[in-house]
């Protein structure tokens, strides 16, 4: 069982080089389990004990199981996670010839550890928007093989490199593309069009990021860990989906929200700081025969677990942690607490999560920043504040968060799935 989950996670990570792919892959898994897609533009006729999902922008997905369709009495059991990861996003794909190769400019999306993106076997993924007879259509695009690169300068020509080097994203992090043998190229879109058998000018626009083609893998002497790009936060998306599809017949409506754009602050029409979640929750209540008051009553009766990555203590950098709050890999899920509400955890919601861990037979660790460090944040406070839903921020411990290759613990992943299952199964308050 354990290995099945982990191999399945590695597969999920490999199939999800961009948020669009993560959502498409999540939808495939939900569909396989009999969940049905709903459109926000249609009227909803919901059945009890049935799974549904809704997609916005191709990059955010809300999945819910209706249970006994009594949200106002039981509240919702909610899990949130995010589909995006720090990356390099192609500007518009315009190419410039330089020293015998092409270059395309990038924007830094979110906060990656920039240096980890150099000297890797990179490729491109995202979506292209093409003109069809019916209008414009978005299509997933992914080039599987290593095809673009950002080489470092040689150390001999840049002796300062190991003293701490500041890369300039405008001039030093352009993607190099070696497209030989063809006509003069203006844009990456021409290359993509050719590859997917479209007319050269068929691609009107695109949302493309670079990704690392190295596959997710088990690591550690006894394969206790796994490493991959995008563990923050696709590992949690996977755990949330695994939990969601394994729970049925419960009283409460369960809801799994996988949001895009956490890495850039969530304020987009499909991010956690949009009305997506509240619209879907209210519509579930209305489709269950309730009125708006029932929806408003359901919010304080709900419980949300905002699950994201957590910082495992690093043996070479242990001083970056408060030693009393230094989670280790494979030590179990981590409660994240912050006085300034970078996390949504309160004493009460933390207590509730501890009970869930106890119920799942799983160890619970906790993380607070060193008091002289600012630390990170997550989407929990944003999503919880909009609707007044009691919420807790948690996550699995990992090393190298926001590196192009992160590392996390195998048993933590299984533990997170177990705790999330307990959370979704809880009926009533």
Kindly report the number of other CB atoms within 10 A of residue 6's CB atom: 19
- Least Å distance, CB 195 to Co ion, is 31
Cα torsion through 133, 136, 142, 147, rounded to 10: 90
Check residue 406 for interaction with Co ion (CB under 5 A).
no
CB of 83 to Co ion, least distance (A): 10
Tell me which residue of 123, 139, 135 sits closest to 58, measured CA to CA. 139
97: which strand partners?
102
- Residue 308 touches Co ion, criterion: CB under 5 A: yes
Pairing of strands 135-142, 122-132: antiparallel
Scanning the structure block, which residue is given the tokens 């009460």?
A: 348
Q: Looking at beta carbons only, is 273 or 308 nearer to Co ion?
A: 308
* φ, ψ dihedrals at 418, nearest 5°: -60, -45
> Hey, which residues between 113 and 142 contact Co ion (CB under 5 A)?
none
Region of 26-34, 153-161, 304-312, 406-414 interacting with Co ion (CB under 5 A): 304-312
Residue nearer to Co ion on the CB measure, 69 or 235? 235
Answer whether 107's CB lies under 8 Å from 116's CB.
no
For the chain, report the end-to-end CA distance as a whole number of angstroms: 31
Taking contact as CB under 5 A, which single stretch among the options 21-29, 170-178, 228-236, 245-253 is the one that binds Co ion? 228-236
For Co ion, the closer of residues 14 and 308 by Cβ is 308
- Tell me whether residue 114 or residue 188 sits nearer to Co ion (CB atom): 114
CB atoms within 10 A of CB 249: 11
- Choice between 212 and 393, CB closer to Co ion: 393
Residue span binding Co ion (CB under 5 A) among the ranges 8-16, 102-110, 218-226, 300-308: 300-308
User: In the bound complex, what is the minimum distance in angstroms from residue 351's beta carbon to Co ion?
Assistant: 24
| 309/327 with CB nearer Co ion | 309
Of 14, 84, 232, 273, the one binding Co ion (CB under 5 A) is: 232
Q: Which is nearer to Co ion, 67 or 309 (CB)?
A: 309
The beta-strand segments (E) located in 237-364 are 253-259, 303-311, 334-336
| Per-residue interface string for the shown chain with Co ion, residues 22-61, x marking contact by CB under 5 A | ----------------------------------------
**What sign results for the dihedral spanned by CA atoms 256, 258, 263, 265?**
negative
How far does CA 50 lie from the centroid of its chain? Answer: 25
Size of the residue set binding Co ion (CB under 5 A): 4
Nearest to 308 by CA among 202, 221, 401, 178: 401
Query: Whole-angstrom Cα distance, residue 85 to residue 93?
Result: 20
Q: How far is the CB of 38 from Co ion (least distance, A)?
A: 27
Smallest distance from the beta carbon of 294 to Co ion, in angstroms? 33
Minimum CB separation from Co ion for residue 377, in Å? 9
Q: Which is nearer to Co ion, 262 or 282 (CB)?
A: 262
CB 29 to Co ion: min, Å: 21
- The gap from C-alpha 287 to its chain's centroid, in whole angstroms, comes to 29
Smallest gap from residue 394 Cβ to Co ion (A): 12
- Which residue among 65, 104, 233, 302 contacts Co ion (CB under 5 A)? 233
User: Which CB, 253 or 398, lies closer to Co ion?
Assistant: 398
> What is the bridge-based pairing of β-strands 122-132 and 203-212?
antiparallel
Contact 367, 343 (CB under 8 A): no
Which residues in this chain contact Co ion in the complex, by CB under 5 A? Answer: 232-233, 308-309
């Amino acid at each position: 069982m354990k290995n099945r989950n982990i191999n399945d996670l590695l597969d999920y990570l490999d199939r999800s080089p961009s948020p669009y792919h993560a959502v498409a892959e999540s939808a495939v898994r939900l569909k396989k389990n009999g969940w049905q897609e709903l459109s926000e533009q249609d009227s909803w006729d919901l059945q009890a004990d049935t799974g549904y999902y809704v997609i916005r922008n191709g990059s955010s997905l809300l999945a819910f199981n209706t249970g006994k369709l009594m949200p106002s009495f039981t509240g919702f059991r909610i899990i949130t996670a995010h589909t995006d990861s720090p990356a390099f996003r192609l500007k518009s794909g315009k190419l410039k010839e330089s020293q015998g190769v092409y270059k395309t400019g990038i924007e830094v999306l979110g906060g990656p550890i920039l240096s980890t993106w150099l000297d890797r076997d990179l490729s491109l993924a995202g979506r292209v928007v093409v003109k069809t007879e019916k209008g414009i259509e978005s299509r997933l695009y992914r080039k599987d093989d290593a095809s673009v690169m950002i080489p470092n300068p040689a150390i001999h020509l840049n002796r300062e490199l190991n003293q701490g080097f500041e890369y300039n994203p405008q001039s030093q992090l352009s993607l190099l593309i070696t497209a030989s043998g063809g006509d003069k190229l203006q844009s990456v879109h021409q290359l993509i069009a050719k590859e997917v058998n479209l007319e050269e000018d068929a691609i009107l626009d695109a949302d493309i990021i670079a990704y690392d083609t190295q596959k997710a893998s088990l690591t550690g002497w006894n394969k206790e860990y796994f490493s991959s790009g995008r563990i923050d936060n696709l590992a949690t998306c996977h755990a949330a989906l695994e939990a969601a599809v394994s729970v049925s017949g419960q009283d409460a409506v369960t809801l799994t929200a996988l949001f895009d754009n956490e890495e850039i602050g969530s304020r987009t029409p499909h991010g956690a700081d949009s009305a997506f979640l509240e619209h879907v929750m209210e519509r579930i209540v209305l489709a269950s025969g309730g009125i708006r008051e029932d929806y408003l009553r359901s919010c304080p009766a709900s419980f949300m677990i905002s699950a994201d990555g957590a910082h495992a203590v690093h043996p070479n950098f242990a001083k970056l942690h408060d030693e009393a709050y230094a989670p280790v890999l494979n030590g179990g899920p981590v409660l994240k607490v912050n006085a300034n509400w970078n996390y949504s955890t309160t004493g009460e919601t933390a207590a509730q999560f501890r009970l869930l861990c106890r119920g799942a037979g799983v160890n619970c660790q906790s993380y607070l920043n060193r008091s002289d460090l600012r630390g990170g944040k997550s989407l929990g406070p944003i999503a919880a504040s909009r609707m007044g839903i009691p919420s807790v921020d948690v996550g699995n411990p990992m090393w190298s968060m926001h590196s192009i290759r992160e590392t996390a613990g195998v048993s933590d992943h299984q533990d997170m799935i177990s705790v999330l299952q307990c959370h979704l199964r809880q009926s009533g308050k």
